[in-house]
Structures are given as structure tokens and as C-alpha cells.
Amino acid sequence: MPLQNVARELAELLKGSQADYVEAHLEESQTSHLLYRGRELESVGRSEAAGGNVRAMVKGGWGFVCFDRFDDLRGRVEMAIRQARLVGLETSQLASVPPVVDRVEAGLERDPVTIPLAEKKQLLDEYNEIIWQQPEIQTSSIGYGDSRKRSIYLNSQGSFIEQERADISLRIAAVAVRDGDVQQAGLSVGTRGDLAPMRKLHQEVEHLSRHVVALLSAPQAKGGEYTVVLDPVLAGVFVHEAFGHLSESDFVYENEHLRELMKLGKRFGGRELNIMDTAALPGLRGSYRYDDEGVPAARTYLIREGELVGRLHSRETAAKMKEKPTGNARAISYRYPPIVRMSNTYIEPGKVSFADMIGDIKEGIYAKNWYGGTTSMEMFTFSAGEAYLIRNGKIAEALRPVVLTGNVFDTLKNIDAIGDDLDMNEGGGCGKAGQMPLPVSNGSPHIRIRRCLVGGR
């Protein structure tokens, strides 16, 4: 049955439903992937998925049902409502949003999924060839994935939104071995369905493969506190982990202590620090017109001139905190309920040039590219793909990759220089509450952090 027809049938069922609020998501997606391990194309495949969910709210309690078959829609709506009724004991609170009827196209010249696998394979072969030209490369891995998704959101308040989106992600990693010592390096990029930027990575791939071999003779950093300069990519991961997750108000809204701690107006950093989250920028991986509760994308300052001025909301958290909804409720697929997530999160550019930033550092670390990051809200870690010593104002020898850690209540205050060179990182994806990977982007100019704790031996 076409998705449209299912949606119309559901819309009728939702109209007369006995709940404070009911919404449904329907989705159809196609994906393709190619995975190289070493020189072999190890896995190549295509997938198709279709399904939906119904989520209902009764007296503050939620019920959620997801399914892969579009039969018995009435039964599924009733089940979600029955579940919500079992849970609900209080009053439902949802920020009011005008009902929206709209249709958003993916706006692509070419659907990435339908591009022949042979064309994608040829590109990946070129990259693999570059990696293997270096001596001492032991193995490589290249993972390419694309998807195209059509979804329909509708709710009991009359919204009916069709959206299409496409996504591409690519991760390239190389492993070098010498005398049983194994080193690895990688790069990760993504786009909103456009393959063109993925065709121009030859230089990056060559740098990556040279770097991983160089790591074999690089020393390990000694653990301790350093003045650290982060490149825009790693600083983007830093702002995502260090502050972005703490701004997601589902963590805060039911917790009196945290609400007190995260009061608007609280100072987190210097006057030069501005942090923004917005899904309203066109063409980025974290962008969308409407979130998964039908709320239009907004521009939300999280920090302005060092002070906490905003946070990210779902309709429920916004109502409970008496703030405006920001359109940040997102789900990775119809198999999950929407939860509060970031979109495109970045530190706004300042005025300091890179040369000035490192110029007066006697001994420090320049950390570039990301490998990973995670947070417990108060404390967070993020790891660099590349690291170099800074000695007497100059970038010196390569170090083995470092893991850095910080504490949100003092690390942001220790940022003492913000560069003039904002750049967005669109690689990887974000994970939260079992929903991973969600396409997001993050970014920053170069930043300098004093007294940053670095792990090492």
C-alpha cells in the first residue's frame, strides 16, 4: 500500500482518538553500502525498509508502538493509547504549535542510492589505492553508506508533513604495523546526499596514510595538563560533547537540582564565547525544515557572550520549563520515539588568527581531527585523530593520538582564544539512548584551551 494511503487512513483514525495527543510517523527508506577491508570489497548490499509508529499521550504518560506492517492500523492506535493511559497519572503538557500541512522535497539533482554501485566502487578503489601506496600499511577499511528516506508525520492536531531526505557517510581508516606495534588513523565525512564532495578527498586520504605510518615512530604524550589548541573539526566535537548534550533539556526538565544549575543567565565562559544550534541552515547533515514532532526548525543560541541563554527542546520539555519549543525532537527511524537532540551545533567565530593563537605557547598540544567523544554531562572526553607538540610557538613533532577530558563547569571558562576560521564537520553521527547514528554536524573555528587534561603514559 502506498505510504500516502496509509497516512490518510491514519489521519482519520487520529481525528477521533481518545487521548490528549496522538502522532504517527511513517517511513520508507532505501540504502546501499560498500565496505572494504584491506584490498577486498568485503560487503556490498542494498536494503529497503518501510514501517511506522504511533505515539500517544494521556495525562502526561506516553505509549509507543512501532511496526513493519501496515495492517490493523486501528489496533495499533488503540494499543498506543491504552499504554499511555496505563502510565499517565498527571496532566499532559505540550508546547502549542500551529498545525502544519507541508511537503519538503530532498532537493537533489541525483538520488545517491540509485547511483550505480560500480561508480561508487570505482571512487573507493581510488582511495584504497592511495592508502596502499605507503609502505608499512597493514590494512585499511573503507565504509561507505547512503540512504534516501521519505517520511510522513501526522498528528491529532491536524499536522500532515511529508519530508524527504538523503544522507551519505564515508569513513576511511588505515592501519600500520611495525614489530607488533599497531597504529591506526581515520577520517570521517558526510553530506546531505551529494556525492560530489566525496569525490575530492584524494589529498586527505594521502595525508591520512602518510600520517598513520609516521605514528609508528611517534612518541606517546605524557599524561597531564596542557595548553591545547583544537582545530575546527575537533573543536566541533568538543562543543558537541562539552556543552551540546548538557543543553538537551530532557536531561534537565524533571530534575530540580539541574534546573537550578542550568538557570538561564549562568556564566559558562568568557565574553567571546557564543554557541549556536540550528537546523535552519540549508544543506548541512543536521538540517531539516520540521523536526519529528512537526515543529519548525529554529536558531537557538545556547551561549551568548559566555552566558547560558537557551536550550534545546521537545514540545514536552518546552512546556514543562515554560520556554519556547526549538524543534529539536528527533528520532533515527520509525523504530524509536523522538527525543531531544542537537542539529548543527557550532562555536561562532572570533578574531584570533591561528598564528597568534599558537605564537606564545612554550609547550602545548595541537590536536586535530576527531576519533570519538562522549559525555556524562559534567565530565566529557573527546579524542583526536592527530596530535602534535607545540614548542615555542611552532607546530613540532607528531604525537600518538590523544584522549582529552574536561569538566563543563571549568573547561569552557578556560577557552582563552577563539579563531576567525569557522568550519563545519559533517562526519560521523551522534548516539543517545540507543539511537545511533543520528546525522548531525558541528563546527568551530580553532580554539585554545588552557589547562586541559590529556591522557597518556
Partner 1 sequence: MEAILEQAKKSAEAAEVFSVSSEETQVHFEANRLKHLQTKQQTSLALRVIRQGRLGYAITTSPDDYKSLVDNAVETSRFGMEAKFELPLASTYPPIEVLSPDVESVSIEAMVELGEKLIAAVAGHTPGIICEAEVSRGEVSVRLVNSRGGQAAYRKSYFRFGIEGNLTKGTDMLFVGDSHSSCRAVLEPGIVIDNVVQQLEMARSQATVATKSLPVVFTPHGVASALVMPLMAAFNGKTVLEGASPLGQKLGEEVFDRKFQLWDDATVSLRPSSRPCDDEGMPSQRTPLIEAGKVAGFFYDLQTAALAGTRSTGNGSRGHGGLPAPSASAFVIAPGDTTFNDMVGDIREGLVVEQLMGAGQGNILGGDFSGNVLLGYKVENGKIVGRVKDTMVSGNVYQALKESIALGRDVRWVDAFLHTPHIYCPSISVASKG
Q: Does 337 bind partner 1 (CB under 8 A)?
A: yes
Rounded to a whole number of angstroms, the minimum distance from the CB of residue 294 to partner 1 is: 20
Question: Assign residue 434 a region: left if phi > 0, alpha if psi is -120 to 50, beta otherwise?
Answer: left
CB of 89 vs partner 1, minimal distance in Å? 8
Q: Residue 203 CB, nearest distance to partner 1 (Å)?
A: 24
The Cα angle at residue 320 between residues 319 and 321, in degrees rounded to 5: 90
Q: Which stretch binds partner 1 (CB under 8 A): 4-12, 277-285, 357-365, 398-406?
A: 398-406
Contact set for partner 1, span 182-201 (CB under 8 A): 182-184
Bridge partners of residue 365, in order along the sequence: 228, 389
3-state DSSP assignment of residue 341: coil
Backbone angles phi, psi at 210, to 5 degrees: -70, -40
**Window 42-61: residues binding partner 1 (CB under 8 A):** 42-51, 61
Between residues 208 and 422, which has the closer beta carbon with respect to partner 1?
208
Give the one residue of 3, 9, 62, 281 binding partner 1; rule: CB under 8 A: 62
Residue 241 beta carbon to partner 1: minimum distance, rounded to whole angstroms = 9
| Per CB under 8 A, 17 contacts partner 1 | no
Beta bridge pairs of residue 454: 224, 404
Residue number, 238 or 354, with CB nearest to partner 1: 238
C-alpha distances out from residue 387 to 205, 212, 320, 397, Å: 17, 12, 44, 9
User: Considering the complex, what minimum distance in angstroms separates the CB of residue 101 from partner 1?
Assistant: 28
Give the integer Cα–Cα distance in Å for 392 and 394.
6
Taking CB under 8 A as the binding criterion, the range among 227-235, 277-285, 299-307, 400-408 that sits at the site for partner 1 is 400-408
Strands (E), 38-76: 40-58, 61-67
- Tell me if 398 contacts partner 1 by CB under 8 A: no
Which is nearer to partner 1, 105 or 410 (by Cβ)?
Answer: 410
Per-residue interface string for the shown chain with partner 1, residues 241-260, x marking contact by CB under 8 A: -------------xx-xx--
| List 383, 425, 441, 442, residue binding partner 1 (CB under 8 A) | 383
CB 224, min distance to partner 1, A: 5
Instruction: Please answer whether residues 37 and 175 qualify as being in contact, where contact means their C-beta atoms are separated by less than 8 angstroms.
Output: no
**Cα 367 to Cα 362: distance, rounded to the nearest angstrom:** 16
The residues near 179 (Cβ < 8 Å, ≥ 6 apart) are: none
User: What one-letter code names the amino acid at 339?
Assistant: I
Q: Which of residues 100-159 bind partner 1 (CB under 8 A)?
A: 117-118, 121, 138-139
369 binds partner 1 (CB under 8 A): no
Q: Residue 3: how many CB atoms within 10 A of its CB?
A: 17
Please say which residue, 89 or 196, places its beta carbon nearer to partner 1.
89
Q: Given the rule CB under 8 A, which of 3-11, 290-298, 394-402, 417-425 is the region that contacts partner 1?
A: 394-402
DSSP string covering 347-415: EPP-SB-HHHHHHT-SEEEEEEEEEEEEE-SSEEEEEEEEEEEEETTEEEEEE---EEEEEHHHHTTTE
Q: 198 near 123, Cβ under 8 Å?
A: yes
Q: How far is the CB of 358 from partner 1 (least distance, A)?
A: 23
- Applying the rule CB under 8 A, the residues between 273 and 332 that interact with partner 1 are none
Helix, strand, or coil (residue 242): helix
CA dist 54 and 3 (Å) reads 15
Looking at the Cβ atoms of 83 and 156, the one nearer to partner 1 is 83
Q: Closer CB to partner 1, residue 287 or residue 317?
A: 317
Least distance in angstroms from the C-beta of 210 to partner 1? 17
Could you say whether residue 412 binds partner 1 (CB under 8 A)?
no
Q: Which of 304, 400, 413, 450 binds partner 1 (CB under 8 A)?
A: 400
Q: Answer yes or no whether residue 74 interacts with partner 1 by CB under 8 A.
A: no
As a whole number of angstroms, the distance between CA 136 and CA 179 comes to: 10
376, 394, 396, 397: which one contacts partner 1 (CB under 8 A)? 376
Residue type, 361: I
Q: 258 or 395, CB closer to partner 1?
A: 258
